[in-house]
């Protein structure tokens, strides 16, 4: 691992930590009834520039679970009298 890679990794970790600190409370407030919530991070390194362009994106998601259960009669079957 060269010095540039170390510096890029360090900068990315610092940015993720900063975004986590900024958005954690809002993410926690959006938790579902089971307490589930998520923060996702994406780190993009663009070395086509000098110096390297670093972009860190934070995404806050509330986990929502919903369910419907039902029975569907076969429309091809005739109903029997009761």
Phi, psi of 29, rounded to the nearest 5 degrees: -65, -25
**DSSP-based three-state secondary structure for 56:** strand
Residue 80 pLDDT > 80, yes or no?
A: no
Instruction: Indicate the pTM of the whole model.
Output: 0.70
Residue 1 in this model has a pLDDT that exceeds 80 = no
Alpha-helical (H) ranges within the chain are 3-29
What residues are paired with 40 via a beta bridge?
Answer: 59
Q: 17-47 pLDDT, tens per residue?
A: 999 999 999 999 988 888 888 899 999 999 9
Q: How many helices (H) and strands (E) does the chain have?
A: 1, 2
pLDDT at 57: 94
């Amino acid at each position: 691992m060269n010095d540039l890679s170390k510096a890029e990794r360090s900068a990315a970790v610092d940015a993720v930590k900063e975004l986590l600190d900024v958005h954690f409370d809002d993410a926690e407030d959006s938790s579902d009834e089971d307490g589930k919530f998520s923060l996702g991070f994406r780190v993009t390194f663009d070395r086509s520039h000098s110096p390297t362009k670093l972009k860190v994106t934070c995404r806050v998601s509330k986990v929502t679970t919903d369910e419907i259960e039902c029975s569907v009669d076969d429309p091809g079957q005739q109903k029997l009298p009761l």
